[in-house]
Amino acid sequence: MKRRKPEWLKVKYRNTDEVIEVRNILRTLSLNTVCEEASCPNLMECFGRKTATFMILGKYCTRNCTFCNVEHNRPQHVDPEEPVKVAEAISKLNLKHVVITSVTRDDLPDGGAEHFAQVITEIKKRDQQVIVEVLISDLKGNVSALAQIIQAKPDIINHNIETVPRLYEAVRPQAIYQRSIQLLYQVKLLEPNMLTKSGIMVGLGETPSEVEDVLADLRQADCDLLTIGQYLAPSKDHHPVVEFVTPETFEKYKRIALDLGFKHVASGPLVRSSYHADQVSSLLNNNQ
């Protein structure tokens, strides 16, 4: 049975001039955004603020996570012009904080790390002041691939833990919880000053104590930034929503996370990994 959304999850859609402008720029440059591919509920707000999360390395994913709306299919050819196109779009939109993510490319030996590095380099070449946040896959635990991304000097490395360990088999069958935790820890070993970030969805059937254990594991890995948001099933074929978590519970999780030592926590029903990502810009200045 489909659950009715509570009032706090209802979003008004509006197609403003800014939204149309962002969409036109993306279409002209043949760029993908996770905002559109993952059916993000904040798309209109973010496009209206002239922000977007760019999704590189094609639009088809090599993994088949049951929570995600990005299509699982044979991966596309990597576009060598994509780094320049992304940098051009950022320039046209006059963005100061950008988020670059990708489909998971298990078919590539480096998981797409070299391409990520090229995108970061191209953005920084045009404007050194742009804050670049990359949301990466687990790279199958490939440390040299991770090092390649770090060497390109992004400002934030994000890797989402997504859910609690018990639900991995049902929600992220091709991922490994400890591998994801280790990746975040490995970033700090390679570059201690790099800000790291992760995110978890709730409402998939986890318990509060399981969420708290994940937050503790992330802090053990010295993760700095955290997002917690409500899972919304993209369709009836995806993992079902087990619970609509109340705003009060999100506030409770935020307090727990801050007490554990996270530098910044965004926790709320509509929070997504890149939602209002620019709010952490002040932390970067303090981290340098």
Assign residue 204 the CATH number of its domain.
3.20.20.70
**Residues ≥6 apart with Cβ < 8 Å to 201:** 67, 162, 163, 228, 229, 230, 231
What is the structure's pLDDT at 281?
A: 62
Indicate the number of domains in the chain: 1
Strands 53-56 and 32-33: antiparallel
Is 2 within a domain?
A: no
The whole-number mean pLDDT for each consecutive block of 10 residues of the chain, a chain of 288 residues, reads: 68 62 75 58 54 83 85 89 93 85 94 98 94 95 98 97 97 96 98 96 97 98 96 88 96 98 94 69 62
Is 1 within a domain?
A: no
For residue 53, the SS3 value is strand
Output the CA angle 143-287-95, nearest 5 degrees. Answer: 85
Range of the structural domain that residue 116 is part of: 7-287
